Chains A and B, each alone.
Chain A
């Protein structure tokens, strides 16, 4: 049987193109990796020998570590909030009938399309308008960024949670009700355990979204240094470039591993749950 969509030589051509594009996508990352070990102040050829100096430098840079810690706190808190709100919203959208569902879901997803800098400005004006403490304390500024990141991450968590919830057989929940369990009890003992893989991926997506977010944070941060804000400033300073490159390599590598592990884990979990 001949394939109508693609001739054999066409398939070969497309495969070549695909490989070229993959090369284009990964080459900059590989080049960063090479220069992160290069014993030279500027990232340029020819290479000048192997060094771990830049890694050592960033590991002992307190400013950078403070920024990483701040970003980790903001991401941990905001994704917790976004996932909690996302679970509530997804249950309502999937399991409940109510009037105006379409506009409600459109509203819940609308932060996806707003330009983040416009949202950052809006949040800044809100905090100014109500006199939310600006440079008062570390936790207040942290909270300002967390509030914004919950808004940004919420639609992503809903998009991850809803399809999974739709797959879970509703008769399992109905059986629990028939046996006298309350909605809350059913959620805790039936729905949540089945939803857990999606909850984990939603959390990871929200976490990485927040960890990498620059635009909103740059408007509401006050004196807070988050990792993207530190990076953005460091990029304008050539002396910092080599150690910034080594940080970049570490962060990109970790996130690639997390992304692939999460995807593989999700597939394994879904196969197992699919048997239910």
Chain B
């Protein structure tokens, strides 16, 4: 991730150096906090996963071993689960982007005067509690929940055969889509909003219809925003475990659930869990570095 180079909006004149508020004194605390409580902990997990370090810290010679990594890479269970989660996240991200694009298009290009009000209306649910929105769906999708009981009372479905909604892969995808949809419209909106409309007029002057102008001008120019939106959903859903554990049951079980169960169940396996966690971190880190230029925060900052 990268911030727009602050040099752009920054002072031209040099500010006279002074004894107080020097750069090191400004950056010292934030950097130290992240090193001690963010970087070092990850290092500890890495050292722990190869047996260089034992908990609580005991100094002395420990055998470096890749046994836990070997078990992970050669047992098919967790890698298989990982691919299953990748597929699920890919589907969710693609569908959500597909839904969000027309929303963003409407806000950015329809010329509506209340676009910021509507944008706020769209995004506000995203800014409320994540867990409570999952809760809402857990209630809604239950075998005797509002949806099913509504179907019973209208006679569309008999109480003996409720729609199986909860504890399915579908439920996980529905809820994840519900959660991310508002947020995903944002990067697409920003890219469409910054589109130079004269390009569309030029296309029209040159005889392009609306559809052709869309395919050949608007869509290519908004592609970075679309791709950013896709990554903004894909990266967090890949490590998701709260939603699947609440509405996914066994069929919606994801890689994240496997990691958690290594730490929080009756038979803890911290070493194996550390390997699983580091693998996820590696994949996410790789995606972030490779696609860094699409993941700039300015992509979601309006105005």
Chain A residues with CB under 8 Å of chain B are 3-7, 10-11, 14-15, 17-18, 21-22, 24-26, 28-29, 31-32, 35, 42-46, 84-86, 88-89, 91-98, 101-102, 104-119, 121-126, 128-131, 147-148, 150-151, 154, 159, 162-163, 166-167, 170, 173-174, 177, 182-184, 187, 208, 211-212, 214-215, 218-219, 228, 231-232, 235, 241, 244-245, 248, 251-252, 255-256, 259-260, 263
Alpha-carbon distance between A208 and B124 when the two chains are bound, in angstroms:
13
In the assembled complex, how far is the CB of residue A204 from the closest CB belonging to chain B, in whole angstroms?
Answer: 10
In the assembled complex, the Cα of A42 lies from the Cα of B178 at a distance in Å of 24
Contacts of B6 in A (CB 8 A): 93-94, 101, 105, 162, 166
Closest A-chain residue to B13, C-beta based?
Answer: A174
In the complex, whether B259 has a CB less than 8 A from a CB of chain A is yes
Contact B128 A255 (CB under 8 A): yes
- Are B57's CB and A130's CB within 8 A? yes
B102–A14 contact, CB under 8 A? yes
Jot down 17 A-B pairs with beta carbons below 8 A, ordered by A.
Answer: A4-B200, A21-B99, A25-B125, A31-B136, A88-B29, A88-B30, A89-B26, A94-B6, A98-B23, A105-B6, A107-B31, A118-B281, A129-B44, A129-B57, A232-B246, A252-B132, A263-B120
Inter-subunit contact A43/B139 (CB<8 Å): yes
State in angstroms the CA–CA spacing of A163 and B284 once bound together: 27
Contact A231–B135 (Cβ < 8 Å): yes
CA separation between A245 and B65, bound complex, in Å? 49
Q: In the complex the two chains form, is B125's CB within 8 Å of A29's CB?
A: yes
Residues of A close to B124: CB separation below 8 A: 256, 259-260
Q: Within 8 Å of chain A (Cβ to Cβ): is B7?
A: yes
Residues of chain B lying within 8 A (CB to CB) of residue A256: 124-125, 127-128
A125 touches B241 (CB 8 A): no
Q: For residues 1 through 59 of chain B, which have their beta carbon under 8 Å from a beta carbon of chain A?
A: 1-3, 5-7, 9-11, 13, 15-16, 18, 20-21, 23, 26-27, 29-31, 33-34, 37-38, 40-42, 44-45, 48, 53, 55-57
Report whether A114 and B284 are in contact in the complex, using a CB–CB cutoff of 8 Å: yes
Whole-angstrom distance between the alpha carbons of A208 and B27 in the complex?
A: 25
Question: Among B5, B53, B121, B201, which residue has its beta carbon within 8 angstroms of that of A4?
Answer: B201
Query: Known pairs A5-B197, A6-B109. 12 more at Cβ < 8 A?
Result: A14-B110, A15-B110, A18-B106, A31-B140, A35-B139, A85-B33, A88-B29, A89-B27, A159-B297, A162-B3, A166-B10, A170-B10
Q: Which DSSP category, helix, strand, loop or mixed, fits chain B's interface?
A: helix
Residues of B within 8 A of A (CB): 1-3, 5-7, 9-11, 13, 15-16, 18, 20-21, 23, 26-27, 29-31, 33-34, 37-38, 40-42, 44-45, 48, 53, 55-57, 99, 102-103, 105-107, 109-111, 118, 120-122, 124-125, 127-133, 135-140, 142, 144-146, 148-150, 152-153, 178, 181-182, 197, 200-201, 203-204, 210, 213-214, 218, 235-236, 238-239, 241-242, 246, 256, 259-260, 263-264, 270, 273-274, 277-278, 280-281, 284-285, 288, 292, 295, 297, 301
Closest to A33 in B: B136
Chain A: CB-nearest residue to B283: A115
Distance, CA A260 to CA B284, complexed state (A):
32
> Closest Cβ of chain B: how far from A83's Cβ, in Å?
11
Sort A-B residue pairs by CB-CB distance and give the 4 closest, nearest first.
A115-B239, A122-B41, A44-B149, A183-B21
Pair B131/A231 contact, Cβ less than 8 Å: yes
Contacts of A85 in B (CB 8 A): 29-30, 33
- Do A25 and B181 touch across chains, with their CB atoms under 8 A apart? yes
Q: Complex Cα distance A108/B47, Å?
A: 23
Complex: how many Å from CA A154 to CA B263?
A: 27
Q: Of B102, B178, B210, B301, which one neighbours A5 at CB under 8 angstroms?
A: B210
Return the contact of B33 from the options A115, A150, A218 (Cβ within 8 A). A150
Report the minimum CB–CB distance from A237 to chain B (whole Å): 12
The answer to whether residues A174 and B34 also contact, given A17-B103, A22-B121, A43-B146 and a CB cut-off of 8 A, is: no
A93 engages B3 (CB within 8 Å): yes
Tell me, in angstroms, the Cα distance from A174 to B18 when the chains sit together.
13
Contact indicator B128/A4 (Cβ below 8 Å) = no
Residue among B16, B30, B107, B135 making CB contact with A86, cutoff 8 Å: B30
Contacts A4-B210, A121-B274 given; indicate if A15 touches B10 (C-beta within 8 A): no
